[in-house]
Amino acid sequence: MTHHIPEGLPDRIRHYIDGEFVDSVGGETFDVLDPVSNETYVQAAAGQKADIDLAVAAARRAFTDGPWPRMLPRQRARVLHRIADLVEASDARLAEFETFDTGLPITQALGQAQRAAENFRFFADLIVAQRDDTYKVPGRQVNYVNRKPIGVAGLITPWNTPFMLESWKLAPALATGNTVVLKPAEFTPLSASLWAEIFREAGVPKGVFNLVNGLGEEAGDALVKHPDVPLISFTGESRTGQLIFGNAAPFLKGLSMELGGKSPAVVFADADLEAALDATVFGVFSLNGERCTAGSRILVERSIYDDFVSRYAERARNIVVGDPHDPATEVGALVHPEHYEKVMSYVEIGKGEGRLVAGGGRPPGLDTGNYVAPTVFADVAPDARIFQEEIFGPVVAITPFESDEEALALANDTKYGLAAYIWTNDLQRAHNFSQSVEAGMVWLNSNNVRDLRTPFGGVKASGLGHEGGYRSIDFYTDQQAVHITLNEAHSPRFGTRQATAPFATANP
C-alpha cells in the first residue's frame, strides 16, 4: 500500500498567540506521528505554563481593550460567516490533513469539515436572532436579562474528529463575544493549526483566538489552573474530566464537560431489522469507532437475536478496512500506537468474555499501521469489562434480553449515560423506554442525526452541563438580571422611629 502524504504539510507546528505564530518560550517540542506509518512527520511546539500565560494575557487584552466583545451581533456574525465560507472553500484540504493526522476515512473527514462550517453558520445566525427575557409587572416594574460575554474561555479538545469538535466550542465562544485559548489534543495538532490562517483571513482581531499545542499534563493543566480563565469547556475521557473538575475547583470556574460513553443500541423484535442493522453497524464502526456517542453495546430481543447476530457479523466481516485516503475505505487506521495497544488489549479481554463472531485482530494484508479488524463479540454478560468500559475503537458487544424491563436494566447498567438508540415500531414503548433510559440524548429509529438547536450532553459519568443551541449561549455568557421600578420605590423605613430606652419593657 502506498503511503499518501498530503502536499503543503507544515515543516513544524507552532502556537498562535496574539496574532503571531510562535515557538514555545523554552523551545520545548513533541513528536507528531501519522497513524499509517507510525513515523514522526513533524515536530510541534509543546506548550508549558509560560506559553499558556502569554496566550491568556493576549486573550485577556483582546477582551478588555479590543473591539470583539463590543461589536454588534451582526458584525460578529459576518466574521463567523466568512469563517464558514473559508472552511467550505478549503474542505478538501482540511479533510486531507485531518485524514493524514487522525487515520479517519477521507469521506468521513470531508463530512466533518462541512459540519464545522455549519457550526459557525448556526451560531452566527443564532446571535443575530437571539432574544432575551423581559418580565413586566404592569405599571410597577420591568425586569430584563442583560447578557454579557464572560471573558477568556479555555477550550480543550480531543483527537477524534478534532477540527469539527474544535468548531463546536470555538463558534459559540466567539459568537457570544468571548476570547479563547484553544488547547488541541497532542495526538492530532495538524488541523487545529489551520484555524489560525482561517481566522486571520476572516478578520478576527488579534488576540481573540489563541492556540497553544502541548500535552494535557503541561499545557492543559496550566490552562485549567489559570486564574484569568473563568470558563473551561472540555471534551475527552471521564478520568481526565474528574482531574479537571478538581483542578478548577479552587477557582470556581464554569465547566462544561462532554466525557466518555458506552451507549446502548436496543433492538426490539418489532423493529425494522434492515434499518436497525444499517444504523448499528454504522453507529459503532464509523469514525473508526473513535466516537463518544458510538452505540458500542447492542441489546437485542431474544426472538430475533440469533438472526441479528449472524447478519451483523457478516456485515462486520465485509467492512472495507484500509488506506484512510482511499474513498472506498470504511474503517481506517486508529489514531496512535498507544491507542491501538489499548483497543487491542480489549479485543484480547473480549475473547475471554464473549463469543467472537467477527474480527478479533489485525486485518490480513495490513501489517503496519494502527489497523484493527471490525470486531464483534456476542453473548456478552453485563459484568464483562467489554460491556462496562469504553473501548473507543471498532469493537462491539452484543447481548440478548427477554423483556422490556431487562432491556432497560441492561441499558442503564454502566457508569456512563451519553446516548441511547432505540429500535421499535411500538409507539408507547418507544417513548416510555426513551424517558426511562439514563442518557443525555436518545435517538428513536434513527442514527445520531444532530439538530444543532438541541442540548448535547450526558448524564452520570458522561458529562456535566450541556452545549448546543441556547445552552451554548448560556454557558458562554453571564445572564445579568436588571430590575427597574416604574413608580415610587417603597421600602420599609428603617432608622426613622423615635429612639426608645434600650432595655425598656412594654407594660401589659
Q: Which residues are catalytic?
A: 258, 292
The 10 Å CB-count burial string (b at 16+, else e) for 172-193 is: bbbbbbbbbbbbbbbbbbbbbb
138 burial type by CB count under 10 A (0-12 exposed, 13-18 middle, 19+ buried): exposed
End-to-end CA distance of the chain: 104
Which residues make Cβ contacts (< 8 Å) with residue 119, sequence separation at least 6?
Answer: 164, 167, 168, 171, 452
- In a 3-state reduction of DSSP, which class is residue 309? helix
Q: How many CB atoms lie within 10 A of CB 72?
A: 10
Alpha-helix residue ranges (DSSP H) falling in 203-356: 221-224, 238-248, 273-285, 302-317, 337-351
Please answer whether residues 417 and 462 qualify as being in contact, where contact means their C-beta atoms are separated by less than 8 angstroms.
yes
CA distance 483 to 504: 41
Q: How many CB atoms lie within 10 A of CB 134?
A: 10
Please name which of 461, 508, 478, 1 lies closest in space to residue 230, comparing C-alpha atoms. 478
